[in-house]
Amino acid sequence: MNASSCWQLHTAHAFLSRASLPHCATPPQVRVKFVTKLASIRVTDLPIAVPETLGRYGLSEVVNHLLGLNADTSAAAAAPHDAAPPSSKAPIPFDILIDGRFLRTSLARYMRAHAVSGETVLELEYLPALRQPTEESADTQPDWVSALAACAGAAGTGGERVAGPFLASACYDGCLRLYGASGGLDIAHSARVSAQPLTALAAAAGGGAGGGDDAERCWLLAGGKDRGVSLWRVSGGEQRMLEQAAVLSGHQNSVAAVSFSPAGGTHTAASGDWDGRMCLWDLAAAQGAAGADAEAGGPGVKRRKRAAGEADAVVVELEPTAVFKAHSQAVTGVYLAGPDTLYTGSWDHSLKAWDAQRQDCVRTMACAKAVACMDAQGGDDAAAASGLLATGHPDGRIRVWDVRTKAGETLTLATLAARGGWVYGVKWAHGSAYNLASSSRDGSVRLWDIRSGAALRTLPAHKGAALCVAWHAGGVASGGDDGVVRTFKVEVAATVT
């Protein structure tokens, strides 16, 4: 045993002996082993006997004493002379997981509920707890904020980010608004898309058909009650701008959901409407419209003046590569996982998996309630996608689905009770397999870890309903029917370095 492990065990035993109640019988003990995926806060993996009455907070104190954080001077004085000294850093609040689930009871209650023997050594994983988020910025728009989309940005030829990160909003006044790279809400550019409300928005990076500048741009796809879908370039540089690249015509009713494909750039997209119909799109001509097609003035390309004295803007008119009836009611969630795979969610109480090339439904997943919103883990990052979908429902619940399961196996991985009424928006955190944000009718934004049945944090964000949510710039943003876009800084407790 090295000096560090010796110190950790000594301080833990000293702490646990002092924590025992002097006038009560010593509670039964259970042996535990603390593990973590974070090397900077790793402690000894030797089993330690702790009272079985301890829960999350007590176990968090034990881990802090093992780390020597804010260690008691009396314990330090009694330590072996060759032991490592304690740290003067402040304690870190930890969450505790056991068997892949957050511990929200005492160890004794968990062991009784799961018929675990007192002779078993329990493996407890610890990780820094989520701190209470703080509000950063707010921006008031003239009408309901129906959708938000964030993009990390596109990489330039030298690997630098040339467009992004950015946050965009779609509003019931028919306008797109583009916010800057920071967590602030300074509007960099806005564009009127329609005289009718916008209801759907998606963002993606790269994908220019001919390479060059277009490959270094980010893109927005917007849909609304005018039955139209439009594609927009987000130009890089200090002054970001929105430039319309294409008009996509094919829907016969209001568009409720849109999605870019994360595979192979953003050359393909999908959109769903209130009739239950889906349209699939090939965006290559629009994303390369600044190249040879535009110069040749090929079919489907028209020029439209951007402003007096400025160069013409090339706007491509696209028709869908496929139109098909996907659901009997509104399509409220769309995820185009690649050129061959499509997932849709609907008010008809179902999720469906599709062969996008043939427009064949290959699997139908029944939902207890209508699907109000949907997001895929990994989002527009194909490499990060794990086969998990999250759906929000009018019953105030979020359901997490593992679409990789075989027929006959349980598809619902977790059910989270938001308790805030209708769930209007749900979004996976970038790069996380566990963390979600949701927005609800009661105006709140909730932060989740799917390994816990309860929200980690609840943020009062809007006076009315919170209609949409997105992760952006190290935090979360939300929009509501009070016309406000609000951002919060989200962070976990600092780790020891």
| Domain map (residue ranges) of the chain | 3-128, 134-489
The C-alpha atoms of residue 390 and residue 226 are separated, in whole angstroms, by 28
Closest C-alpha to 485, from 109, 39, 170: 170
Q: What is the pLDDT of residues 75-114, one digit of tens each?
A: 433 444 444 444 557 889 999 999 999 999 999 999 999 9
Q: What stretches in the chain show pLDDT beneath 50?
A: 3, 7, 20-22, 71-86, 157-162, 208-212, 290-301, 303, 305-311, 383-384, 496-497
What's the whole-model pTM score?
0.84
The tokens 């998606």 sit on which residue?
202
Query: For residues 225 and 174, is the Cβ–Cβ distance under 8 A?
Result: no
Query: For residues 416 and 440, is the Cβ–Cβ distance under 8 A?
Result: no
Half-sphere exposure of residue 166: CA atoms within 13 angstroms, side-chain side: 36
- CATH code: domain 3-128 is 3.10.20.90
The DSSP-derived string for 115-134 is T--TTS-EEEEEEEPBPPPE
Burial of residue 411 (number of CB atoms within 10 Å: 0-12, 13-18, 19+):
buried
All residues at 6 or more sequence positions from 244 whose CB lies less than 8 Å from its CB, including other chains: 191, 230, 231, 232, 233, 304, 313, 315
The C-alpha atoms of residue 455 and residue 445 are separated, in whole angstroms, by 10
Backbone angles phi, psi at 287, to 5 degrees: -75, -15
Q: Partners of 487 in the beta sheet?
A: 137, 477
Question: Which pLDDT does position 69 carry in this prediction?
Answer: 85
Helix (H), strand (E) at residue 31:
strand 29-35
Give the rounded distance of the alpha carbon of 72 from its chain centre. Answer: 40
Question: Which pLDDT does position 26 carry in this prediction?
Answer: 73
Domain 134-489 class, CATH top level: mainly beta
